[in-house]
Amino acid sequence: MGAQIHHLASNQRNPGVSFRPDWVENIRVNRSAVERRISTLAARRTVKKEWQAAWLLKAISLIDLTTLSGDDTPGRVQRLCAKARQPVRDDLLVALGMQNEHLTTGAVCVYHEMVPVAVKALEGSGIPVAAVSTGFPAGLSPLETRLAEIHASVAAGASEIDIVISRRYVLTANWQALYDEVAAYREACGEAHLKTILATGQLGSMTKVAKASMICMMAGADFIKTSTGMEKVNATQPVSLIMMRMIREYLHQTGYKIGFKPAGGISNAKTALQYMVLAKEELGNDWLQPDLLRFGASSLLGDIERQLEHFVTGHYSAANRHPMG
């Protein structure tokens, strides 16, 4: 039955399924096995030379270029959007034969207040605007306020909404409450895609991360995301492996492909490539496209551009030659 559903539904948006506590109760995580699997990534040689350049160009297309600072201004967001439109310098694009490929980042991610600025700055580019929502980063505002935030950001032009779950529901194993919350967020999003942030560094155990991942997908999430980027512990490869395995299980159970977004602490090209290799090996080539894999990052793009300049010229450049704005 799973294979038949997969054939019918694999390219459709996840509608969610009814609450299935048995899917959650049976989840167990073998921590030592997870750590052994991840250790193989660091031990391997990564892709090199022109293959590495190609992977890095692909990585750019997967970045949710992000600014989430209390001192964000319209000018800063406009500069970030300009970088999203043209993430690599012209001379490097020409040297790489990419000048006509219209390379952009996957999205621009901002607070609600900056959504209209970003929408206007990205007009005609096809780059979506993602808004963090639901009392980000803590998620402790009243539910009515959180839902109103989603409605407001969608009305302002955001086509992706990055929500934060209530961690207390995971810590107390109140899976029905978590399901109901995420389902309400999904309904509020309408046509906008829902990316659920688990804040994995605050969930207490890998098994809880796995169970929370499954609940969010059951409730209709389009993406599951590791972190807000503001916890003490953000994206890690062991946690990412667990979330990818849950995505694979959900695909097996329902036929629907769910996206994955590691966020927080992914600041260099080498780390990004490791995540891409993990996604390719665990989930397949479909997860090397921006509709199923994103990096929540800001400084990552600058390091990738430095690596590309090294490939073209043989020399590393200073970071200030590749500003974000």
For residue 316, which amino acid is it? Answer: Y
Return the closest-CA partner of residue 294 out of 60, 120, 36, 23: 60
The verdict on whether 120 is a catalytic residue reads: no
Side by side, which strands form the sheet with 160-164?
259-261, 223-225, 193-197, 160-164, 129-132, 107-110, 63-66, 295-297
Q: How far apart are CA 322 and CA 274, in angstroms?
A: 23
How many helices and strands in the chain, by DSSP H and E?
Answer: 14, 8
The active-site residue out of 83, 208, 225, 257 is 225
Burial class for 20, CB neighbours closer than 10 Å (0-12, 13-18, 19+):
middle
| C-alpha closest to that of 225 among 107, 93, 55 | 107
Q: Choosing from 64, 83, 162, 211, which is the catalytic residue?
A: 162
Q: Is 261 a catalytic residue?
A: yes
- Percent helix, strand, coil in the chain, to 5, is 50, 10, 40
Catalytic-residue membership of 270: no
In the chain, which ranges are E strands? 63-66, 107-110, 129-132, 160-164, 193-197, 223-225, 259-261, 295-297
Choosing from 83, 208, 257, 261, the catalytic residue is: 261
CA dihedral 130, 135, 136, 137 (to 10 degrees): -170
197, burial (CB in 10 Å: exposed 0-12, middle 13-18, buried 19+): buried
- Kindly list the catalytic residues: 162, 225, 261
